[in-house]
């Protein structure tokens, strides 16, 4: 990619602020920036950052369809995900494009097939119950650290195949530190990567990464030396074979394991945190969830096999991911002139489906700012209208996993409990790395039903 970004004059309009100011706005207040673009310039609109190609954002399903259905040879998502390279590594599915991306994706997809989800259901429920036992009753606490702990444990057990014990604790601490250090927005910017010693943000991060990598490589070597067949995704990747019959390499395995952790942990934890936020803001929604849980699960315990019958809970999850999507935009770097929504875009620019603005497009969702799960009971939006997991050949491979996990975690918590608003609860979304999370981590009060 041309790092300086091509200087087109005929792109859709956008702010004339210095590029560094546009970048600062994107890092600090991306949702407000997108709203501003639409209000001031209409859609599509163009943003320009230093040392990055021009980015043209869209909120119209026809344009989104052109982007998601375009040729993967000409539209490169891997290049647009470049800021994640320092954490996920060069072999990560997130960073690959074209043929190599399609081949690697084929290798990673089988463990995420919808039908396999029931195998992970018990782990999801048991991890939630174990954590829930430690949640205080009738006292305010922030729920996001708890959802982070739950989704991390679920990934450690279902993806890494690590059972409880000292090894799990060591790996968990290392991975938490890795993600924590990387979540500073400034680390998304390549030219700020300067190792000025262990106290500087980048210096600290590279040291944490070296420690975590040593643990993961140790685990890869141990599992290769003493293979143990298992249901976890790591075991399946160890057995997976490329088309030429070769197994996945050591770095490839490391990069894909970290990719799943990075892509799947914070995203799902944040989505759960938003779901609790909407539940405390809308007691009538919580009442409907309770009615449905009582009807479907009876006296329980939560039966994952019947969780598919929780249609209102499913609508709540979909509306949660619509109203404030955890990832607010995805991008594709164009390698050939491409027509998007009737506009001819030149090669070199980034076409951006704005997930947030599409989900807030009143032509698709009447009163888009309102939280109304019922809209998903009445209609089923197309993949170009509801896109919290991106789309096309790049659509999130963990979508079925994440939706299932959210359903099991929420059903398990709400089965015997109510959630109420606690002081300090805030609507304000703040950036945590690539995700938009509720400020203050959603303080709640948990009471028994």
By the criterion CB under 6 A, which residues form the site for ligand HEM? 77, 93-94, 105, 159, 259-260, 263-264, 267-268, 271, 326-327, 330, 388-391, 394-398, 401-402
Is residue 176 packed enough to be buried (19+ CB in 10 Å), middle (13-18) or exposed (0-12)?
A: middle
- For residue 350, the cross-strand partners are 55, 333
Q: 77 or 237, CB closer to ligand HEM? A: 77
Are residues 48 and 22 in contact, defined by beta-carbon separation less than 8 angstroms?
A: yes
Q: Exposed, middle or buried: residue 318 (CB in 10 Å: 0-12, 13-18, 19+)?
A: buried
Q: Which is nearer to ligand HEM, 171 or 445 (CB)?
A: 171
Residue among 77 and 127 whose Cβ is closer to ligand HEM: 77
Tally of helices (H runs) and strands (E runs) in the chain: 17, 12
Q: Which DSSP category does 246 fall into? A: P
In the complex, minimum distance from the CB of residue 359 to ligand HEM, in angstroms, rounded to a whole number: 12
Instruction: Report d(CA 421, CA 276) in Å as an integer.
Output: 10
The answer to whether 127 and 157 have CB atoms below 8 angstroms apart is: yes
Return the number of the residue (263 or 422) whose C-beta is nearest ligand HEM.
263
Minimum CB distance to ligand HEM, residue 141 (Å):
22
Nearer to ligand HEM by C-beta: 67 or 444? Answer: 67
Is residue 334 within a helix (H) or strand (E), and if so which, with residue range? strand 332-334
Q: Give the Å distances, CA to CA, from 144 to 77, 88, 163, 308, 402.
A: 29, 23, 23, 25, 16
Q: Quick one: 313 or 422, whose CB is closer to ligand HEM? A: 313
Q: What is the CA radius of gyration of the chain?
A: 22
The CB-of-84 to ligand HEM minimum distance in angstroms stands at 10
Pick 33 or 108: Cβ nearer ligand HEM: 108
CB of 334 to ligand HEM, least distance (A): 14
Query: 239 — phi, psi (to 5°)?
Result: -90, -15
The least distance separating ligand HEM from the CB of residue 80, rounded to whole angstroms, comes to 8
CB of 381 to ligand HEM, least distance (A): 16
Shortest separation between residue 135's beta carbon and ligand HEM, angstroms:
21
């Amino acid at each position: 990619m041309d790092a300086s970004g091509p200087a087109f004059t005929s792109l859709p309009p956008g702010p004339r602020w210095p590029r560094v100011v546009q970048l600062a706005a994107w890092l600090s207040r991306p949702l407000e920036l997108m709203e501003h673009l639409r209000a001031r310039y209409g859609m599509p609109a163009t943003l320009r950052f230093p040392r990055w190609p021009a980015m043209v954002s869209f909120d119209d399903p026809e344009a989104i369809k052109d982007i998601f259905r375009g040729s993967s040879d000409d539209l490169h998502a891997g290049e647009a995900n470049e800021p994640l390279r320092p954490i996920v590594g060069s072999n990560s599915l997130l960073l690959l494009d074209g043929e190599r991306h399609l081949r690697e994706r084929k290798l990673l997809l089988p463990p995420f097939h919808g039908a396999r989800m029931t195998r992970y259901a018990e782990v999801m429920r048991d991890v939630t119950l174990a954590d829930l036992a430690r949640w205080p009753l009738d006292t305010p606490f922030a729920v996001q650290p708890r959802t982070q702990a739950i989704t991390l444990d679920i990934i450690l057990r279902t993806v890494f195949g690590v059972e409880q014990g000292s090894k799990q604790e060591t790996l968990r601490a290392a991975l938490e530190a890795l993600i924590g250090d990387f979540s500073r927005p400034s680390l998304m910017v390549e030219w700020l990567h300067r190792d000025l010693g262990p106290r500087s943000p980048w210096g600290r991060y590279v040291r944490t990464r070296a420690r975590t990598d040593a643990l993961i490589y140790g685990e890869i070597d141990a599992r290769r030396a003493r293979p143990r067949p298992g249901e976890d995704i790591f075991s399946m990747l160890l057995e997976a074979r490329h088309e030429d019959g070769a197994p996945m390499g050591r770095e490839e395995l490391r990069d894909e394991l970290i990719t799943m952790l990075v892509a799947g942990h914070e995203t799902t934890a944040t989505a759960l945190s938003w779901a609790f936020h909407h539940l405390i803001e809308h007691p009538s929604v919580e009442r409907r969830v309770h009615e449905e849980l009582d009807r479907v699960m009876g006296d329980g315990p939560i039966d994952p096999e019947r969780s598919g019958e929780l249609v209102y809970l499913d609508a709540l999850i979909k509306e949660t991911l619509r109203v404030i999507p955890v990832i607010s935009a995805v991008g594709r770097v164009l390698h050939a002139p491409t027509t998007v929504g009737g506009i001819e875009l030149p090669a070199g620019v980034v076409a951006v489906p704005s997930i947030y603005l599409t989900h807030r497009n009143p032509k698709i969702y009447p009163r888009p700012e309102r939280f109304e799960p019922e809209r998903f009971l009445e209609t089923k939006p197309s993949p170009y209208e509801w896109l919290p997991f991106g789309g096309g050949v790049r659509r999130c491979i963990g979508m079925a996993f994440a939706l299932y996990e959210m359903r099991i975690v929420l059903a398990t918590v709400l089965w015997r409990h109510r959630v109420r608003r606690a002081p300090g609860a805030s609507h304000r979304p703040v950036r945590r790395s690539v995700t938009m999370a509720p400020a203050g981590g959603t303080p709640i009060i948990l009471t028994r039903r």
